[in-house]
Amino acid sequence: AAFRLEQAAQQGLIRFYARNEGMDLSIPYEFLGVDHGYEPDFLVRMATPDGEPDLTLVLEVKGFEDNQTTAKHEGARRWVRAVNNWGKLGRWAFHVCRNPQMLERELAYLVQQTPASAA
């Protein structure tokens, strides 16, 4: 995934990215009545067209999805909606990449499909 992100940066699809390891971004979620913290894989600053507000993508690279993973992803989607509604941290989106070989295409699609008013 990092290799594909590097390629996307060279092509101008993204401005920069960071692995979330040690950055302490933990998104709260609940699973089976117990509170947990979900740490997504990457934060990616998308290259948006001139005049468009920046878009920060919470990116998860995941193959198999079990019930707890589904709860994590739903928690991330709720968190992104809340951050966007608050409006003081720019625009955010959440994406799960199932196949890193397709990541560049997915990033290109996301930057085109995410309107400025909602992420």
Tell me the pLDDT tens digit for each residue of 11-57.
988 999 999 998 989 999 999 999 999 999 999 999 877 777 789 99
What are the tens digits of pLDDT across the range 74-97? 999 999 999 999 999 989 999 999
pTM confidence score: 0.88
What pLDDT shows up at residue 108?
Answer: 87
How far are the Cα atoms of 7, 9, 53, 54 from residue 13, in angstroms, in the given order? 9, 6, 15, 12
Q: How far is Cα 88 from Cα 52, in angstroms, rounded to an integer?
A: 16
Residues 38, 29: Cα–Cα separation, whole Å: 7
